[in-house]
């Protein structure tokens, strides 16, 4: 799957699993780290997961939830109460949370957000509540208010934001099939359509969002940029979700509710963005954005990898040290869950990184394989570990231990049989050169010889073998 997506950061929403459902295939993915937020109470519901490719990027902090009231693994201290150097920050204030009747713990109990901080930006992977019935309206608006507050607070701290996921919000009429017919059916004008509570909140967050009238207090300025729409400003039918019950996907009767958004200061960082509507397997399709290899940060052009990894791992785009599972793995990594910690994927057992001297002696390019645990001191300084291809010639056949064992086990059996036929005893004699083929008829006319040559089998035991290669009189009678 990761090979198909060709991405270095992959964000999943609506995983619908519990912790007990996590398996090796989900957690121990070679060359990747993963971070999960799973629902606390409901089964088969919600859930967010983020995977990062170790050879390209490594976060410096990871948190679960929007409000900061959840605790890190093996800790009773909420994220919002950790020392400043251990927290991402930007948590909604008490005043901001009072806008919702739902308390913070309940907002973060459904596994709807994972936050990763890189030196470049804070990545927020989110699964926003859907608008299915009125019973969830308070929870939905409470979650969106908390998300809006977190984004704005992070921006006020000077941190850049990359927000992505299933937001379950339509921006405007262009983002839904048959939007005009639907509005007529509901008796809504265009103004009323974009001014619903969730759409108004969302559009006030976007730089080009449609906002009618004065902006709300605390939302005077836009923060985010709609990357995909910016690359396709007038494109119709750019939908990311389709109703499965009526098989709406073949006719492309859907909606755009999945987004890749970034801080306004980052909008020039991207080389492209689009949807992958041809990738099946869900009622949603992936949305992606492609970052440039160099970006402008604080009035200076920098290599992207320098700011997508812990300080010092890359300098000017060149790797200075390898990713280390002992140093760079974070407490929120699923690899540290007791069921998986200290274990490896079975494929890793057959992957061995050669030393630098071996690579130089080989002199041939090998296939590139990503390693999930790379030693900072022993591995070559590259983004992947080089594994030379092994070649076997006919003259130097490599035998397995089982093959070698079978060879040694057969030798004494053959010798024992021949000894019984010859009824010979072991005598000391110097080695004689074996004759090539039948030289004369003398061997048929003279009596059988009792001379034998002592040899050693693979287990260090003395055995006897006939001196002559040709057929003996005893063998002829048999």
* Positions marked catalytic: 127, 166, 284
Is 226 one of the annotated binding-site residues? no
Q: 3-state SS of the chain?
A: CHHHHCCCEEEEECCCCCHHHCCHHHHCCCCEEEEEECCCCCCCCCCEEEEEECCCCCCCEEEECCCCCCCCCCCCCCHHHCCHHHCCCCCCCHHHHCCCCCCHHHHCCCCCEEEEECCCCEEEEEECCCCCCHHHHHHHHHHHHHHHHHHHHHHHCCCCEEEEEECCCCCCHHHECCHHHHHHHHCCCHHHHHCCHHHHHHHHHECCCCCCCCCCCCCCCCCEEEHHHHHCCCCCCCCCEECCCCCCCCCCCEECCEEEEEEHHHHHHEEEEEECCCCCCCCECCEEEEECCEEEECCEEEEHHHHCCCCCCEECCEECCCCCCCCCCCCCEHHHCCCCCCCCCHHHHHCCCCCHHHHHHHCCCCEEECCCCCCCCCCCCCCCEEECCCCCCCCCCCCCHHHHHHHHHHHHHHHHHHHHHHCCCCCCCCCCCCCCCCCCCHHHHCCCCCCEEEEECCCCCEEEEECCCCCCHHHHHC
Is 168 one of the annotated binding-site residues? yes
Is 271 one of the annotated binding-site residues? no
Is 303 one of the annotated binding-site residues? no
Is 318 one of the annotated binding-site residues? no
Binding-site residues sit at 14, 166, 168, 283-284
Binding-site residues for Mg(2+) sit at 14, 166, 168, 283-284
């Amino acid at each position: 799957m990761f090979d198909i997506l060709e991405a270095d950061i992959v964000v999943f929403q609506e995983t619908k699993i519990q912790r007990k459902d996590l398996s090796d295939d989900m957690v121990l993915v070679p060359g990747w780290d993963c971070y999960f937020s799973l629902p606390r109470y409901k089964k088969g519901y919600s859930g967010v997961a983020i995977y990062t490719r170790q050879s390209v990027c490594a976060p410096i902090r990871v948190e679960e939830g929007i409000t900061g009231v959840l605790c890190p693994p093996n800790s009773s201290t909420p994220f919002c109460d950790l020392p400043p150097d251990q927290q991402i920050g930007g948590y909604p204030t008490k005043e901001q949370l009072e806008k919702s009747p739902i308390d913070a713990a309940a907002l973060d109990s459904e596994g709807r957000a994972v936050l990763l901080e890189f030196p470049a930006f804070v990545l927020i992977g989110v699964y926003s509540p859907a608008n299915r019935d009125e019973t969830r309206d308070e929870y939905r608006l409470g979650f969106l208010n908390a998300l809006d507050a977190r984004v704005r607070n992070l921006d006020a701290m000077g941190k850049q934001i990359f927000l992505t996921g299933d937001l379950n919000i339509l921006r405007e009429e262009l983002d839904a099939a048959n939007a005009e017919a639907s509005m007529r059916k509901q008796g809504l004008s265009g103004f009323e359509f974009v001014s619903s509570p969730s759409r108004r909140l969302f559009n006030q967050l976007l730089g080009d969002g449609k906002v009618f009238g004065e902006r709300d207090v605390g939302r005077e300025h836009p923060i985010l940029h709609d990357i995909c729409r910016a690359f396709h400003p007038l494109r119709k039918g750019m939908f990311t979700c389709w109703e499965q019950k009526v098989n709406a996907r073949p006719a492309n009767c859907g909606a755009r509710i999945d987004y890749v958004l970034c801080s306004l200061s980052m909008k020039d960082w991207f080389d492209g963005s689009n949807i992958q509507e041809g990738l099946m397997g869900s009622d949603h399709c992936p949305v992606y954005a492609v970052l440039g290899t160099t970006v402008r940060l604080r009035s200076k052009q920098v290599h992207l990898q320098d700011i997508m990894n812990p300080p010092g791992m890359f300098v000017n785009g060149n790797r200075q040290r390898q990713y280390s599972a002992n140093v760079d793995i974070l407490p929120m990594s699923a690899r540290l869950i007791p069921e998986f910690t200290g274990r490896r994927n079975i494929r890793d057992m057959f992957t061995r990184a050669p030393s630098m001297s071996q690579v130089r002696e080989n002199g041939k390019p090998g296939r590139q394989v990503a390693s999930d645990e790379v030693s900072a001191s022993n591995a070559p300084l590259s983004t992947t570990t080089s594994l030379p291809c092994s070649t076997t010639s006919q003259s130097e056949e490599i035998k397995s231990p089982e093959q070698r064992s079978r060879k040694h086990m057969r030798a004494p059996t053959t010798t024992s049989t021949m000894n019984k036929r010859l009824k010979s005893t072991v005598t000391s004699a110097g080695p004689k050169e074996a004759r090539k083929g039948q030289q004369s008829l003398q061997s048929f006319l003279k009596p059988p010889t009792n001379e034998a040559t002592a040899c050693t089998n693979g287990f260090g035991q003395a055995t006897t073998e006939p001196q002559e290669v040709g057929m003996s009189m005893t063998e002829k009678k048999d």
